[in-house]
Amino acid sequence: MDRINITYNERPELKDPIFIEGLPGVGNVGKIAADHLKDELKAKKFATVHSRHFPPQVLVGDDGVIRLVNNEMYYHRGSNSDKGKGKNDIIFLVGDYQGLSPEGQYELADAMLDLAVHMKVRRIFTLGGYGLGRMVEKPRVLGATTNHQLKKEMMGHGVVFAEGEPGAGIVGASGLLLGLGEMRGIEGVCLMGETSGYFVDPNSAREVLRVLVKAIGVEVDYGALEAKAEQVEKLTSRFKDLEKGIQDGRKQEDLNYIG
């Protein structure tokens, strides 16, 4: 195996495809959103990415059968095959891990962009979470783009561009695909759902998807996503109560200072 191996099980010819990345990250928001959209659109796998930059690990399925950790690429045909719901063909990049080292991240992003350029991708959407370090009731979807025109367009879909957010920039594949993509003539936007950063967050992923589907002109059902959100809700509600208790305690203290 080379440092990056892309194995194709199909070589689809696509028309002006958009590229959607959703890999593991803060709250797994991007991964959950991209996986859900890919599943809902019944996208087809056409390539598997293995790499020495991923952990040296196999995953074990519930059937006891292993597979090497990887990234996978799917495609979805737009207007023609999808009853007119979508305009553009779509390529998905989803997977188990991002590259472990900085160099690995750059090399993987470059390899994905080689493929994107070859397939004539014009626009990239990268999906992620924006960790706030506190529970979020109504997550906003923050944006960052490669140009002002695209920013204006995204604001029309409800994406929030807030000065100074995210202050630390965007780390990993969601950032590099935009930054390196721009150097190769591909515009792009990163959609970041606000999230606590403590748990996987299907709720934030749904908010990201709500914006994304408007931007790319498809429709999806959120049922499966909401079921996941409820599961997580149950697991985390106890944590929320605890946090609320702490905050209430603080307020009490604050009053003590004054009174």
CB of 74 or CB of 130, closer to a second copy: 130
Among 60, 138, 252, 255, binds a second copy (CB under 8 A): 60
The smaller minimum CB distance to a second copy, of residues 82 and 165, is found at 165
Q: Which of 15, 16, 66, 120 binds a second copy (CB under 8 A)?
A: 66
In the complex with a second copy, the residue whose CB is nearer, 97 or 222, is: 97
Among 16, 81, 156, 161, contact with a second copy (rule: CB under 8 A): 161
Decide if residue 187 touches a second copy (CB under 8 A).
no
Residue 143 near a second copy by CB under 8 A: yes
- CA 140, CA 207: separation in Å to the nearest integer? 7
Between 105 and 204, whose beta carbon lies closer to a second copy? 105
Task: Identify whether the C-beta of residue 182 lies closer than 8 Å to the C-beta of residue 145.
Answer: no
For 93, the 3-state DSSP assignment is strand
Task: Rule CB under 8 A: say whether 179 interacts with a second copy.
Answer: yes
CB 36 within 8 A of CB 205: yes
Could you tell me the two tokens for 175?
């950032």
**Within 92-121, which residues bind a second copy (CB under 8 A)?**
99-100, 102-103, 105-107, 109-110
Please say which residue, 78 or 175, places its beta carbon nearer to a second copy.
175
Two structure tokens written together for 82: 């999808």
Rounded CA-CA distance 87/134 in Å is 38
CA–CA separation, 259 and 253 (whole Å): 10
Query: Is residue 234 packed enough to be buried (19+ CB in 10 Å), middle (13-18) or exposed (0-12)?
Result: exposed
Nearer to a second copy, 7 or 80 (CB): 7
DSSP run (H or E) holding 74: strand 71-76
Distance, CA of 229 to CA of 207 (rounded, Å): 12
- Of the CA atoms within 13 Å of residue 32, those in its CB half-sphere come to 27
Q: Looking at residues 215 to 254 of the shown chain, list those that interact with a second copy (rule: CB under 8 A).
A: none
Q: CA 242, CA 245: separation in Å to the nearest integer? A: 5
Of 31-39, 171-179, 200-208, 217-225: span binding a second copy (CB under 8 A):
171-179
Site residues (vs a second copy, CB under 8 A):
1, 3, 50, 52-60, 62-69, 99-100, 102-103, 105-107, 109-110, 143-148, 151, 161, 163-166, 169-173, 175-176, 178-180, 182-183, 190
